[in-house]
């Protein structure tokens, strides 16, 4: 193929330099026929398309390659093979040629099998436009970070305002429904309000059933959340990511901005605080795609005034039914949580939030724990088991919930002073029972008084606690509207000295 630069030189040599064909061919290293073709055609470029491509090595393996290409086209993007992997499979089947021949044939096959080649219309799209406060888009992505020194895959929620392009990303351990609720609450608090519509894909935490067109049956709890924030949910057509293209593009951008190289933090909370800070910084310097002279933060300040006001958080929990065991434990999400002893062997309702677990029995809260992830972990609250200790005080020494447990420094000092043994355990359990009934602060005050006085048993501490609760006596006087406090008389110990001086003691 003759390059355009050579054609230009030949034309200038002949028409400007007045050189002959033989001289040009000798100086430029071309054949005279080629020089004649350039001058007679008066063309400035020549193209050549080979009608038949010989395939001496690939020929016997063309059918296998085309089969691999067809199968690859039917797979989702995550599962598709690269050309390198197809080349390796051909080598395993006996192909001894080069990679370039495989790549060229694959490109030619793809060109001949496009929609345009088949006579179908080429895929075309219409740019979308949104008014201020009209809509936001929501999506998930999977990112790899290092938390506490451990490489972890986190699920990142992306929420983006369609007009201003303001965005927030929040990382979670899961993509469950309670995480969706928490992400929306964080997003609307961050934006200062919500939009009229929310655009989603058909995620299972939101959509229960997909019907023809845009008709969907949304999850009941998800619809409650949308109703709370006054948002109309809209689901995209399946496998049509361009309907929420803004947030789809944001996934790749955020991965490059915030997660490359891998983010390293001690906890998930620290990571989310950093992500929020980075979103604000990026919005301040990122130019708006439609208004080039303004930043995303500037356009967001304009849109913020028309958002639906954020009033209060949605009670975003996922509810599940369970049963408490004899050991006062409830299994949820592959972990176990303790409950009050009165809920043992009874059905309970588990309300799971993004950061905590609330357990109810008959509408009454019998436990509340910080949520843990992973599996096979048991979370104890020792106070749940104190009523059981009243019947089995010996379990205080070897009970799993009481391992390395110190209710408070003062109670630890009391336990140390009581010593060891069955009686010591019984005394300490009586003090713990009093703390459940009267409150830990009141018992601590009684313990401090007992430690200062010297004797420190459950009887002394309970007596001091009862004195704290004893009401002051009052008695009406002449006017019924007036009440006078009766102050108890002070003890006069000098009377005992007078008695010791009497005749019974041999003194005058």
- Summarised one tens digit per residue, pLDDT across range 461-482 is 888 888 877 654 545 544 444 4
Q: Which residue has the tokens 């999977």?
A: 142
Q: Which residue has the tokens 């390293």?
A: 264
Domain final residue pick, 309, 329, 353: 309
- Number of structural domains the chain divides into: 5
Does residue 399 fall inside a structural domain?
yes
Does the structure show a pLDDT above 50 at 486?
A: no
Residue 500 scores a pLDDT above 70? no
Q: Do the domain assignments include residue 386?
A: no
**What is the average per-residue pLDDT within 66-92?**
85
- With respect to residue 476, please indicate whether it lies within any of the assigned structural domains: no
Residue 325: predicted pLDDT: 95
- Residue 477, by phi and psi: left (phi above 0), alpha (psi -120 to 50) or beta? beta
Distance CA 447, CA 468 (A): 12
Residues 420 and 359 in one domain: no
Q: Quote the pLDDT of residue 474.
A: 47
The counts of H helices and E strands in the chain are 18, 19
Task: Note whether 368 and 399 are same-domain residues.
Answer: no
pLDDT of residue 122: 59
Same domain? 286 vs 409: no
Cβ 355 vs Cβ 348: under 8 Å? no
256 and 329 in a single domain? The answer is no
Q: How confident is the model at residue 1 (pLDDT cuts 50, 70, 90)?
A: low
* Residue 126 counted as domain residue: no
Q: Which carries the bigger pLDDT value, residue 82 or residue 476?
A: 82
Q: For residue 483, is it within any domain?
A: no
Q: What is the pLDDT of residue 483?
A: 42
Q: Tell me what pLDDT residue 480 has.
A: 46
What does the mean pLDDT of the chain come to?
87
Same domain, yes or no: 214 and 167: yes
pLDDT at 508: 47
Would you say 243 and 256 are in contact if contact means Cβ atoms under 8 Å apart? no
Distance separating alpha carbons of residues 317 and 225, to the nearest angstrom: 10
8 A C-beta contact, residue 324 and residue 340 = no
Antiparallel, parallel or unpaired: β 167-172 and 150-161: antiparallel
**Residues with Cβ < 8 Å from 136, sequence gap 6 or more?**
159, 160, 161, 162, 187, 194, 195, 197, 198, 199
Burial of 293 (0-12, 13-18, 19+ CB in 10 A): exposed
Using one digit for the tens of pLDDT, what is the confidence trace for 210-259?
888 888 999 999 999 999 999 999 999 887 778 888 999 999 999 999 99
Same domain, residue pair 322 and 303: no
Residue 131 clears pLDDT 90, i.e. is over it: yes
pLDDT at 488: 53
Query: Coil, strand or helix: which one is 106?
Result: helix
pLDDT cut 90: percent of the chain above it? 51
Q: Examine residue 149 and state whether it is found in any structural domain, yes or no.
A: yes
In this predicted structure, the answer to whether residue 5 has a pLDDT above a threshold of 70 is: yes
Mean pLDDT for 297-312 is 95
**Same domain assignment for residues 437 and 415:** yes
**CA-closest candidate to residue 439, choices 468, 459, 413:** 468
Domain-terminating residue out of 258, 292, 309? 309
**Are residues 147 and 288 both part of a single domain?**
yes
63-72, 253-262, 263-272, 483-492 — which is least confidently predicted? 483-492
* Full residue range of the structural domain in which residue 406 is found: 392-469
**pLDDT exceeds 60 at position 120:** no
Instruction: Using a cut of 0.75, tell me whether the model's pTM lies above it.
Output: no
Distance of alpha carbon 475 from alpha carbon 181, whole angstroms = 59
pLDDT digits (tens, 9 = 90+) for 407-429: 888 888 988 888 888 888 898 99
Give pLDDT, residue 344.
94
């Amino acid at each position: 193929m003759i390059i355009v630069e050579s054609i230009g030189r030949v034309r200038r040599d002949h028409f400007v330099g007045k050189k002959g064909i033989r001289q040009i061919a000798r100086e430029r290293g071309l054949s005279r026929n080629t020089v004649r073709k350039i001058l007679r055609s008066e063309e400035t470029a020549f193209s050549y398309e080979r009608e038949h491509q010989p395939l001496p090595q690939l020929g016997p393996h063309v059918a296998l390659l085309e089969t691999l290409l067809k199968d690859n086209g039917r797979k989702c993007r995550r599962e598709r093979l690269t050309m390198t992997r197809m080349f390796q499979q051909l080598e395993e089947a006996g192909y001894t040629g080069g990679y370039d021949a495989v790549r060229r044939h694959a490109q030619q096959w793809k060109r001949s099998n496009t929609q345009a080649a088949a006579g179908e219309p080429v895929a075309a799209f219409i740019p979308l436009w949104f008014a201020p406060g009209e809509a936001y888009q929501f999506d998930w992505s999977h990112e790899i970070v290092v938390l506490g020194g451990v490489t972890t895959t986190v699920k990142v929620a992306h929420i983006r305002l369609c007009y201003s392009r303001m965005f927030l990303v929040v990382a979670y351990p899961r993509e469950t429904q309670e995480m969706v609720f928490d992400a929306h609450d964080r997003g609307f608090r961050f934006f200062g309000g919500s939009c009229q519509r929310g655009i989603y894909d058909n995620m299972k935490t939101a959509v229960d059933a997909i019907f023809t067109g845009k008709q969907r049956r949304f999850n009941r709890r998800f619809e409650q959340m949308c109703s709370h924030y006054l948002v109309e949910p809209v689901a995209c057509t399946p496998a049509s990511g361009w309907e929420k293209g803004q947030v789809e593009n944001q996934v790749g951008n955020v991965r490059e901005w915030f997660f490359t190289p891998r983010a390293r933090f001690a906890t998930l909370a620290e990571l989310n605080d950093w992500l929020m800070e980075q979103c604000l910084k990026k919005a301040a310097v990122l130019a708006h795609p439609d208004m080039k002279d303004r930043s995303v933060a500037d356009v967001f300040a304009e849109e913020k005034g028309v958002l639906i006001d954020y009033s209060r958080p949605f009670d975003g929990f996922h509810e599940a039914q369970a049963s408490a065991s004899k050991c006062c434990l409830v299994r949820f999400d592959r972990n176990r949580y303790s409950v009050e002893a009165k809920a043992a062997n009874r059905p309970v309702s588990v309300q799971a939030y993004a950061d905590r677990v609330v357990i109810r029995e008959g509408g009454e809260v019998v436990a509340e724990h910080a949520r843990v992830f992973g599996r096979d972990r048991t979370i104890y609250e020792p106070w749940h088991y104190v009523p059981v200790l009243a019947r089995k005080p010996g379990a205080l020494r070897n009970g799993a919930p009481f391992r390395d447990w110190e209710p408070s420094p003062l109670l630890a000092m009391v336990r140390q002073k009581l010593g060891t043994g069955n009686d010591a355990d019984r005394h300490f359990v009586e003090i713990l029972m009093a703390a459940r009934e009267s409150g830990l602060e009141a018992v601590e005050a009684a313990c401090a008084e007992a430690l200062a006085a010297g004797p420190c048993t459950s009887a002394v501490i309970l007596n001091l606690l009862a004195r704290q609760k004893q009401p002051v006596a009052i008695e009406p006087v002449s006017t019924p509207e007036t009440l006078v406090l009766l102050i108890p008389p002070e003890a006069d110990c000098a009377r005992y000295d007078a008695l010791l001086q009497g005749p019974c003691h041999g003194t005058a």
